[in-house]
Amino acid sequence: MNLRYPVYSPYLNGREKALVIDCLDSTWISSKGKYVGQFEDTFASWLGAQEAITVSNGTVALHVALAALGIGPGDEVLVPSLTYIASANAVKYTGADVVLVDSERTYWQMDIEDAERGITSRTKAIMVVHVYGQATDMDAVMALAKKHSLYVIEDCAEAIGTRHGSAHVGTIGDIGCFSFFGNKTITTGEGGMVVTNNAELAKKVRHLRSQGVSSEREYWHDAIGFNYRMTNLCAAIGCAQMESINDLIAKKLQISEWYRQGLAGLPVQVHSTRPGTVHSYWMVSIVVDDPCERDALRAGLRGDGIETRPVFYPLHQMEMYAAPGENFPIAEDISRRGINLPSYPALMRDDITVICDSVRKFLARKELKLEPVLEAKT
């Protein structure tokens, strides 16, 4: 079936082609070249971070950040259960253990009270994930981290443009990690960024991402590092994307408002924005009131050429992260009822109207099917 509205499509209407061609003409196509440093500097300045280090994708950004903090075997890291699996996988790559945390109902972010209940003598860090572009309560996170002497890693893969107060997420904790996959607000195809305001931590990240090569001796390696470098080709695309970043974020916020207006009065709820934050709406997500309608609604929308995605399945439901005897009721409830709607920047108001009308049509049809059953019982 041809899709009229995919769930996401990257915005590539700027100078991406021109900068990639310039990169090809220069023959600097691997991890050296002018665009790598330019992208790092531009992103750091825009974000308000002192240091930004390009890496090959968002998952390795998390891994190298954890490694630079010294997280390893015997340590525990708190991670929300309602997140993409890369958040937890990166912890496991270090040999540390994942301790899963339930979500708060209204904003879908890590439940800080539940996080504190999970802290033990082995806990070394909190990995907050700003799920779908909404900010976690970073005031509460930083207070908890200070109380228990924990590091804070911010997984901002879905949160380019998200703010907590006046600060962009990723700049509040010890270290922040971003993804530039093809479905992110800005993209480099594959790519990521590690940001921090700690110069020594940034130095460690740069060292580890480049095979642990010595800065003092040519072709000498003084640590077991990783080949996590971004190519100059990807960085060239990133530089072009940065020229449109503010417009892209503004468009995403407009799309979320159009959805909110178009879905008003229906038995669905649009993902809420925490007061004092800017929700960047990487994905505009809804929850249906009745979980039994979620999959049927998705099928109905697909029949109209509208692609959707289910909200993430909680990690504790997957075999490798199963937590017998532990309960994560809110994460499970959000996951059962949640849908990601088409959220790409090229959508116009008429497009959102078509999508919302399709949702309305399906839900109205469900109501009509219920009426004869209700009459028969009276």
Residues annotated as catalytic are: 184
Residue 48 is given by DSSP the state T
Who's near 372: CB < 8 A, 6+ residues apart? none
Contact by Cβ (8 Å): 2, 222: no
Residue 127 is given by DSSP the state E
Contact by Cβ (8 Å): 6, 182: no
- SS3 call for 39: helix
Tokens of 303: 């029949």
Rounded Cα distance between 339 and 259, Å, is 13
- SS3 call for 192: strand
Tokens of 282: 């990487």
Cβ atoms within 10 A of the Cβ of 345, count?
20
Strand partners, 103: 110
User: Phi and psi dihedrals of 221, rounded to 5?
Assistant: -115, 125
Residue 156 CA from chain centroid, whole number: 5
